[in-house]
Amino acid sequence: AATLDTAFFAAWIEEITRSVGAEKDRLTRLDAAIGDADHGTNLDRGFTAIAQALADKEPDTPGALLTLVGSTLIRKVGGASGPLYGTAFREAGKALADVSEVSAAELVGALEAALAGVQKLGSAAEGDKTMVDALAPAVRALAQAVQEGKDPREAAEAAASAALAGAEATVPMQARKGRASYLGPRSVGHEDPGAASTALILTALRTVAAP
Ligand code: ADP
Ligand code: MG
Ligand code: MG
């Protein structure tokens, strides 16, 4: 099983950066349908800046690394998703404190803190057609898998599947938060871009946790 050390978290962030770069046009197309067509470029700008910051100096602990990721997202991404994802990563980093090896249970705690941060800042509930619709089921699936004694690889698999299903489930929803909510019923029939990017982030976790 993968050891959840700083290198593991750096690999996760690197894989997110790669996949956001590869999928930025799809994310922006989703945002063109129900938003302002910038979600892919917003995230790509943020993760590109993170890659540069990590190339300069990789933090010593997983918590410090996630905190740096969050702060960079807040500075570089803008819009709704910058502060929300920035808060998510910062809260996750804060939850990990200064441990150097993260247990599966600590990973669950970090992602629960990330979700709580997103909901405190954005006050979206599940069903509002936002990133919460992918993140909340992913965190639940991860927590359940770990509670059942699954290893991090299997737990990440469960989380990624739940996030993908959660993103898919936003298609028939009517948006109640963010720009898409301005469209009212016309927001129905499109996948939420933030839910789609959350699924990418959890899929990247599954990729790096695989043996
Ligand atoms: P903006 O809408 O400011 O252009 P982005 O396009 O980068 O920002 O991000 C849009 C995404 O942010 C949405 O698809 C949605 O998932 C998420 N979002 C917007 N508002 C909220 C909120 N209040 N709570 C949670 N997520 C939100
Ligand atoms: Mg947008
Ligand atoms: Mg915008």
Name all domains of the chain by residue range, CATH numbers in brackets: 6-209 (1.25.40.340)
**Residues flanking ligand 1, CB < 6 Å:** 31, 35-36, 38-39, 42, 79-81, 84, 118, 122, 124, 130-132, 177-179, 192-195
Q: Does residue 100 contact residue 166 with C-beta atoms inside 8 Å?
A: no
CB within 8 Å of 119: residues ≥ 6 apart:
125, 132
Residue type, 68: L
Question: Atom 14 of ligand 1 has which residue's CA nearest to it?
Answer: 194
d(CA 211, CA 207): 9
- Ligand closest to Cα of 178 equals 1
Q: Which residue has the tokens 């992602």?
A: 111
- Residue 3 has a pLDDT of 78
Ligand 1 centroid distance, CA of 93 (Å): 22
What confidence score (pLDDT) does residue 2 get?
58
**What is the predicted ipTM?**
0.99
Name the residue at shortest CA distance from atom 21 of ligand 1. 178
pLDDT along the chain (211 residues), means of 10: 86 98 98 98 98 94 98 97 98 97 96 98 98 98 97 94 98 98 98 98 96 72
Given ligand 1 and candidates 177, 182, 187, 198, which is best to mutate, with the most ligand atoms within 8 Å of its CB? 177
Distance 131 CA to ligand 1 centre (A): 7
Q: Looking at this protein, which amino acid is placed at residue 195?
A: A
d(CA 119, CA 139) in angstroms, rounded, equals 13
Distance CA 199, CA 115 (A): 14
**Atom 20 (ligand 1) nearest CA:** 178
| Amino acid sitting at position 47 | F
pLDDT confidence of residue 170: 98
Centre of ligand 3 to C-alpha 82, Å, is 10
Contact 13, 26 (CB under 8 A): no
Q: What is the pLDDT of residue 211?
A: 72
Contact 93, 127 (CB under 8 A): no
Q: Find the distance separating the first CA and the last CA of the chain, reported in whole Å.
A: 7
